[in-house]
Amino acid sequence: MIQVNAVTRNYGTFKAVDRVSFTIQRGEIVGLLGHNGAGKTTIMKMLTGYLEPSSGEIELAGQKRNADPANARRLIGYLPENCPLYREMSAIDTLEYRAALYLLTAQQRRTAIRDALTRTGLQARALDPIATLSRGLRQRVGVAQAILHRPQILILDEPTSGLDPLQIEQMRNLIRDLASEATIILSTHILQEVQATCDRVIILRQGRKVLDDRLESLQTGAALQLRSDISPDQLTQLRNELPEIEGYQQLPSASPGHHYTLQLTCDSDHAAPRIAQRIIEQGHRLYALTPESRNLETIFRDSANAAPAER
């Protein structure tokens, strides 16, 4: 659905985005992460057509975005971080205005507006002026605008900003529901939202992509936690015998035996049985051998602290 090929965006001599490539399939929910200035907003603006790449290409639904800009805009629903709204208008007036811009017929407008209000939980506040709504409710009006024309691609920048816990859960459910008919890119600083909602994460640092993988794979990781009476010297010998072990780090341990993190050359499901078997065959005690589980905060910190690839 989305194909980004070596896209670069320059501001004078500064590269805000530097040769970034990725592919997103239909129905995926992808989290776009990075510190402030990493290039997230610039990429979203290039996808939506607010900015043109300095080089590289973007394809949407199999067509180059700049080949038919009007059609590309119809494919996309966009919620910017600070969604601009006319404060004197009501929510329903705002959606009526946006529906007219999309050239929807009268019947299409009624159906689209009713569906957008229902999905975002705004029915009871539809006639209230935007100026009287809380930040969370204004955010929901922004989401209603973005999904009004049932886009194939939905780009959400901080969609849960200003929402209370109940509204956040409603927004998560809405995003999952929308994924049945749209490809979704979600950019947020709230890592729990990515953890709760996304299938995959792309992390940017200094304008370059440093990580792109499914959350399930990242959180499992190619590492094992080992607790055994095997000494470091004996573990070094075992590493030389087993190609599955790339390296290890000894950790402090208050329990019997030694505690290690084993870095693997393959997935832990394949490596663990062979490692356990060899330890036992050599007469050592095996107290624990478990896959290392990482949360998104750890993944983000490790990726963000890593140096970007050479330019």
CATH number where 114 lies = 3.40.50.300
Rounded distance between C-alpha atoms, residue 39 and residue 9, angstroms: 9
Rounded distance between C-alpha atoms, residue 27 and residue 21, angstroms: 19
Rounded distance between C-alpha atoms, residue 283 and residue 224, angstroms: 20
Which residue's structure tokens are 């094992």? 224
DSSP 165-224: HHHHHHHHHHHHHHTTTSEEEEE-S-HHHHHHH-SEEEEEETTEEEEEEEHHHHHH-SEE
Spell out the SS3 assignment of 129-153.
EHHHCCHHHHHHHHHHHHHCCCCCE
pLDDT of amino acid 310: 42
Residues 243 and 214 in one domain: no
Is residue 300 in some structural domain? Answer: no
Secondary structure percentages of the chain, helix, strand, coil, to 5: 40, 30, 30
Q: Of 218, 236, 253, which residue sits at a domain end?
A: 218
Is residue 302 in some structural domain? Answer: no
The three-class DSSP label of residue 64 is strand
Residues 143 and 252 in one domain: no
Residues 165 and 198 in one domain: yes
Is residue 38 in some structural domain? Answer: yes
pLDDT of amino acid 218: 74
Residues of the chain under the 50 pLDDT cut: 309-311
What is the edge-to-edge ordering of all strands in the sheet holding 183-187? 76-79, 153-157, 183-187, 29-33, 200-205, 208-214
pLDDT of amino acid 223: 85
- Copy the structure tokens of residue 209: 């992509």
Note whether 175 and 167 are within 8 A (CB): no
Residues 146 and 260 in one domain: no
Single-letter code of the amino acid located at 78: Y
pLDDT of amino acid 159: 87
Residues 149 and 285 in one domain: no
Is residue 183 in some structural domain? Answer: yes
CATH number where 282 lies = 3.30.70.260
pLDDT of amino acid 311: 42
pLDDT of amino acid 158: 87
- Copy the structure tokens of residue 31: 């989290």
Is residue 92 in some structural domain? Answer: yes
Number of domains in the chain: 2
Residues 188 and 239 in one domain: no
Which residue's structure tokens are 């935007």? 130
Q: Name the β-bridge partners of 5.
A: 57
Neighbours of 212 (CB within 10 A): 16
Buried b (16+ CB within 10 A) or exposed e, 217-228: ebbbbbbbbbbb
Nearest to 206 by CA among 45, 2, 5, 8: 8
Residues 212 and 229 in one domain: no
pLDDT of amino acid 308: 52
pLDDT of amino acid 100: 93
Q: Of 193, 218, 243, which residue sits at a domain end?
A: 218
Question: pTM above the 0.75 mark?
Answer: yes
Rounded distance between C-alpha atoms, residue 270 and residue 272, angstroms: 6
Burial (0-12, 13-18, 19+ Cβ within 10 Å), 271: buried
